[in-house]
Structures are given as structure tokens and as C-alpha cells.
Amino acid sequence: MYSLVGFLIGNYFVAFLILGLAAALMALAGKPRTGSNVAESFLSYYMLFPIGMSYVVNFVFHVFFGDLAARFIGWANSPFQTELGFVSLGIGVAGIMAFKASLPFRFATLIPPAIFSWGAAGGHIYQMITAHNFSPGNVGLVLPSDILTPVVGFLFLWLAYRHPRASPGNLKLK
């Protein structure tokens, strides 16, 4: 059990993705499995957990546990971690706000973490090649997660666009 908890803490972006998928499935219990219900459930809980909660945790990790975060990634601690933490807080708050927001707001909310994640993946690969940094926080589950998690988010957004909820505030993207 201790190793499972350590694994989840060390891979909280993946853990929150799994939690979001589980929450979406639970939210669908007892509801008709229409395209709009399924798309809405998966996009909503993607915004809340992999974007909202994981980035708030990233804020806490980098601001309050900077030494630990730096060691996990294979870096030296620096004041930049605090700045990274506050960027993460902004993304996390936007993700929580997007939980039941319109499609245009959700689309706008998905762009910053996608750019952040794909940029981080490029940085991880660069560090792996140039500095031989193979620490778990650089090339463990974080690397495929940085690449694939935004793809999942854009897939859920596309599904929500294809199957919109019946709401005047949910304008289609053009």
C-alpha cells in the first residue's frame, strides 16, 4: 500500500487523469448514454481533475516543496520553481472554473496546459539526451503523460463539440 501511495504521489498528473475518467464514468451512472451526456461528462471531469486539481497540486509541489520537486525532476532547486508554481495555480484555477463552462472557455483553458505539457516533454527529452537525466520525474510516466494527456483533452473537447449540450451558453466553436 505504501508503494502505491508513493507511486500516485510521484505521478499525480496520471493519477488525476485516472480519477477524472473514473469520476466521468460515475457521473454517467443512471443517465442516458447519449453522445452529449458522455462527451459532457468526460470533458467536465477532465477539466476538473487532470487540469484543475493536478495543476493546483503542481503549485503546492513547486512552491511549498521546491527541494523535493527539484530532486524528483533531477534539477537543482531555484527561485524559478516558485514562478512555475504560480503559473500552475493559474492553470489549475482556470481548469476548476471550466468544469461546467462553455465550450469556448474550455477550449481556451486547454491551450495553456497543452503548450506547457508539450514544451515540458520537449525539455524532458532534451535533458535526457544532453544531460543524461533519466530521473523518474524527467522520463518516467511524466514524459508520456506530458505528450498524451493534452491529446486526451482535445479529444474530449472535439467530442463535446460534435455532441453539444442543450444550453444557450454553450456556443459552438467556429
Q: Is residue 168 part of a domain?
A: no
35-44 mean pLDDT = 97
Q: Is residue 57 part of a domain?
A: yes
Instruction: Report d(CA 158, CA 48) in Å as an integer.
Output: 17
Res 1: pLDDT: 58
Q: Is residue 123 part of a domain?
A: yes
Q: Is residue 169 part of a domain?
A: no
The fraction of the chain above a pLDDT of 90, given in percent, is 69
Confidence of residue 38 (pLDDT cuts 50, 70, 90): very high
pLDDT tens digit string along 74-85?
A: 888 888 889 999
Q: Is residue 133 part of a domain?
A: yes
The more confidently predicted of residues 66 and 26 is 26
Of 53-57, 86-90, 142-146, give the lowest mean pLDDT range: 142-146
- Check whether 96 has a pLDDT greater than 90: yes
Count of domains forming the chain? 1
Res 132: pLDDT: 92
Q: Is residue 13 part of a domain?
A: yes
Q: Is residue 112 part of a domain?
A: yes
Those residues whose C-beta lies under 8 Å from the C-beta of residue 153, and which sit 6 or more positions away, are 46, 50, 51, 110, 113, 114
Res 67: pLDDT: 86
Res 7: pLDDT: 67
- Check whether 169 has a pLDDT greater than 70: no
Q: Is residue 167 part of a domain?
A: no
Instruction: Report d(CA 127, CA 24) in Å as an integer.
Output: 35
Q: What is the per-residue DSSP string for 135-170?
A: -HHHHSTHHHHHHHHHHHHHHHHHHHHHS--S-TT-
The boundaries of the domain holding residue 55 are 2-162
- Does residue 53 contact residue 16 with C-beta atoms inside 8 Å? yes
